[in-house]
Amino acid sequence: MKYKLCVLPGDGIGPEIVAQAERVLGKVGEVFGHEFTCETHLIGGAAIDATGGPLPEATLAAAKASDAVLLGAVGGPKWDAIDKAVRPEKGLLGIRKELGLFANLRPARLFPELAASCCLRPDIVGQGLDVVVVRELTGGAYFGQPRGEEMRGGERVAFNTMLYAESEIRRIAKVGFETARKRGKKLCSVDKANVLEVSQLWREVVVEESKNYPDVELSHMYVDNAAMQLVRAPSQFDVIVTENLFGDILSDEAAIITGSIGMLPSASLGAGGPGLYEPIHGSAPDIAGKDLANPLATILSISMMFVHSFGLTDEAAAVDKAVAEVLREGFRTGDIMGAGKTEKRVGCAEMGGLVAERIRR
For ligand NAD, give the closer residue by CB, 89 or 343. Answer: 89
**Quick one: which segment of 69-77, 125-133, 198-206, 337-345 binds ligand NAD (CB under 6 A)?**
69-77
DSSP-derived letter for residue 289 is T
Task: Name the nearest CA neighbour of 130 among 320, 340, 322.
Answer: 320
C-beta of 199 vs 283, nearer to ligand NAD? 283
Q: Is 75 near ligand NAD (CB under 6 A)?
A: yes
Alpha-carbon dihedral angle through residues 19, 135, 262, 96, given to the nearest 10 degrees: 30
Whether 142 is catalytic is yes
Q: Sign of torsion, CA 309 312 317 319?
A: negative
Distance (Å) of CA 224 to CA 83, 195, 238: 37, 12, 18
Residues in 81-140 that interact with ligand NAD by CB under 6 A: 89, 92
77 is in an annotated binding site: yes
Asked if 188 and 227 count as a contact pair (C-beta separation under 8 A), the reply is: no
Tell me the window of 20-28, 73-81, 111-119, 230-238 that interacts with ligand NAD (CB under 6 A).
Answer: 73-81
Ordered alpha helix ranges (H), the chain: 14-32, 44-51, 57-64, 88-98, 166-181, 197-210, 223-232, 244-258, 296-305, 313-328, 348-357
275-279 and 2-10 strand pairing: unpaired
Stretch that binds ligand NAD, among 61-69, 204-212, 243-251, 276-284 (CB under 6 A): 276-284
Is-contact 48 86, C-beta < 8 A? yes
Whether residue 280 is annotated as binding a ligand: the answer is no
Work out whether 20 is an interface residue with ligand NAD (CB under 6 A).
Answer: no
Exposure string for 148-183, b = 16+ CB within 10 A, e = fewer: eeeeeeeeeeeeeebebeeebbebbbbbbbbbbeee
Per CB under 6 A, 293 contacts ligand NAD:
yes
DSSP, collapsed to helix, strand or coil, labels residue 7 as strand
CA distance 210 to 200: 15
Catalytic residue chosen out of the listed positions 248, 277, 320, 335? 248
Q: Using CB atoms within 10 A of its CB, is residue 347 exposed (0-12), middle (13-18) or buried (19+)?
A: middle
Has 11 been annotated as catalytic?
Answer: no
186 is catalytic: no
Q: Report in angstroms the alpha-carbon separations of 259 from 35, 263, 272.
A: 35, 9, 33
Catalytic hit among 4, 64, 130, 142: 142
User: Rule CB under 6 A: is residue 294 a binding residue for ligand NAD?
Assistant: yes
CB closer to ligand NAD, 55 vs 297: 297
How many residues make contact with ligand NAD (CB under 6 A)? 22
112 CB burial (10 A radius; 0-12, 13-18, 19+): exposed
Of 75 and 273, CB closest to ligand NAD: 75
Q: Is 224 among the residues known to form the active site?
A: yes
Q: Which one of 72-80, 161-169, 181-189, 268-276 is the stretch in contact with ligand NAD (CB under 6 A)?
A: 72-80
Which range touches ligand NAD (CB under 6 A), out of 109-117, 131-139, 192-200, 278-286? Answer: 278-286
- Candidates 282, 303, 307, 319: give the one binding ligand NAD (CB under 6 A): 282
Residue 96 CB, nearest approach to ligand NAD (Å): 10
The verdict on whether 192 is a catalytic residue reads yes
Shortest Å, Cβ 166 to ligand NAD: 30
Q: Does 176 bind ligand NAD (CB under 6 A)?
A: no
Q: How far apart are CA 74 and CA 46, in angstroms?
A: 8
Q: Give catalytic residues, as residue numbers.
A: 142, 192, 224, 248, 252
Q: Which residues bind ligand NAD (CB under 6 A)?
A: 13, 17, 73-76, 89, 92, 261-262, 278, 281-287, 293-294, 297, 335
Binding-site annotation, residues for NAD(+): 76-89, 282-294
